[in-house]
Structures are given as C-alpha cells and as structure tokens.
Structure 1
Amino acid sequence: MEIFATPGAAGIIEKNENGIDYILIQERVKENAPLENGLLEIPAGKIREFENIYNCLRREILEETGLNVLQIEGEDQSTIFEENGYRVLNYKPFASAQNIAGNYPIIVQAFICKVEGEIIMKTNETRNIRWVSLKDLGNLITNDSKKIYPMHIDTLKCYLKFKGFSW
C-alpha cells in the first residue's frame, strides 16, 4: 500500500517585550509517537482536505496554545486563482521542511505570526507552552539540539539568521 506525506502548517509566533525578541515553544505530547514526547517544537498541525493553509494555521495555533492569530506574514501577498472548478491558493511560506525518514511522513510550511490572548498551559497534544528569547533559543540549538523536534531545527536556525542572530 502506497503511503503519502501529510501536508502541515507551523507558526513561528513572535513577540517583542522590553526590547527582547521571543518566540513561543511547546513540548510535544503525541500518543502515536511516545518517543517524541517532551521534544520542543513550534505549534503545527495537519491541513484538512481543501482547507486554506492560513485557516489551518489559525486553527492549530488556537487548539495548541489558546492564542488567536492576528497576523501571518505574507498572507496579504497570497493570491487565489479560480478556473475550471478549481480554487488555488498561491502563497510563500517563511520556510518549508519535509521528514524524508523517521516515524512521521509530513511536509510542513512554516509562517511567522503575531498573536493575542492568554496561553493555555496544556492540551492533548502539547504541554509547557512558553516564550523563549532568541538568545536562549540560539543557545539551545547550539548546545542541546537533541531536545528539539528535528523537523523544526533548521526552520528555527533560518529564523534566527533572519532576525540577525549569529552564533
């Protein structure tokens, strides 16, 4: 039986407080992948059939963190083309990653987001949701990357470089 990769969306949720840049991270809690439980990740999830990727991202962030998405970078430049019964969304994510080996065949498009609301501390898929400074994130990636879900490591490195962080 042929198995296909699942499409997904992820959010690099950022904020600046007192001149310090932060992103939101959480710990994975997955019934079907117990060896990954506790790994740090950014909020992400699967795209439903014919679901707009931006709507998926809003839904997943709300489900996993309790936060409402205010802005997704690049959404305002996306376009929709309709012809012959098709409706096609064209967009440009911040980063893309695909698991090509391991336990979970998924392709994830990551976007930079702004949010509002109060963080919930635990869901059925996540726990210990918290803000981490870019400096601490850089140190974690440099010194202890085994604590991070592998799919998100290069996306986070790309984000740190984009924000001017160098190590």
Structure 2
Amino acid sequence: MNNEETEIVIQRRTKADSSFKFELPGGRIEPFESLIHALIREVKEETGLDVYEIEGIETRIDTIGINSEFEVECLKPFAAYQTIKGPIDSLGYYFKCKANGELLKAGDETVDIQWITIKELNHLFIQNSLGFSDVDRAGIKYYLKEQGF
C-alpha cells in the first residue's frame, strides 16, 4: 500500500498450460494444510511477499483438542468461487490481506509480479477483462464492486 491508495498484487502465470493472463496470487492447498498456512505459503512462493494481516482470521475456529484424529478449521474468507461452466471444475477462496517485502522478479511459475492501485486495476479490467485469468475474473469483479467501482 502506498501513502494514499490501496494497492493489489497481480501477476502472470508461466505454467505450460496457462494463457499468460493477469491473475491474483494463489494456488493449490496441500493435503490437510490449513487455509491460512496455504495463503501465506502461496503468496510467499509466488510473489516473495510476507503476509502479516489477514481479514477474517479473527473468525477462525478449529476442533483441535476434541478428537486428535480429525481436526477441522472454519473461518470467513472475503469471497468464495465455484466454476459453473468450463473445462475444469474448481472451487476456491479469496482473502484480503496485507503483505510486505520485496517483490520477486519471477516467483513459483509467475512473472510480471506488480503492485497496482485499485483504480489501475479497474481501468485495466474495463479495458481488457479477457486479459485476466478465467478463474480470477469473477473474484476481481467482486472485489471492485465491494470497493465501489
């Protein structure tokens, strides 16, 4: 975040099966990994940034100590998505968080990692919404609407 405007990190994916579109940092959760640990890990791997505040973490509860063989966490993300048409069935969650540190030139299969203001994001999205990943397009629209755009 700069002194006046909220900024968001966008990047491009370099995996062979990706289309080199803008996307938000994210990835797959490891088996039995908590959502919060996955968020922190993926942001670090893809951008180099360290997450230090996560909106909604105060809602987190878990069942640790009830049954040592089956533990679950529950918390309120910023938004959730589910694909309703397309080649891949996908479900995911978005979290609003704060992070700091130096951006990587290239992360874990990511390049063109950059901070942009919400106004710049809105402009870029209006100019070329198809320039964003299919999965993140709805999440970005949701976030921009929440920001008053």
TM-score, structure 1 as length reference: 0.81
Kept after mapping to 1: 8 A contact 2:45/2:108? no
Give the Å deviation of 1:140. Answer: 1.8
Match of 1:40 in 2: 22
Task: Note the C-alpha offset of 1:124.
Answer: 4.1
Bigger strand share: 1
Counterparts of 1:25-104 in structure 2, within 5 Å, are 25-31=10-16, 33-34=17-18, 36=19, 38-82=20-64, 83-84=66-67, 85-104=69-88
C-alpha distance in structure 2 between counterparts of 1:123 and 1:140, whole Å: 22
* Structure 1 residue identity aligned to 2:15: K
Instruction: After superposing the two structures, state which structure 1 stretch, 48-57 or 104-113, moved more.
Output: 104-113
Contact 2:6 2:117 in 1 (8 A): yes
Counterpart residue identity of residue 86, structure 2:
G
Give the aligned CA root-mean-square deviation in angstroms.
1.5
Structure 2 unaligned residues grouped into runs of 5+: none
The CA deviation string for residues 46-101 of structure 1, in whole angstroms up to 9 with x for no partner, is: 01111001000100000000111101111122100244432110111111112344
Give 5+ residue unaligned stretches, structure 1.
1-14
For residues 108 and 28 of structure 2, the distance between their equivalents in structure 1, rounded to whole angstroms, comes to: 15
% same residue: 34
Number of positions where the alignment pairs a residue of Structure 1 with one of Structure 2: 147
Alignment TM-score, normalising by the size of structure 2: 0.90
8 Å CA contact 2:78–2:95 kept in 1: the answer is yes
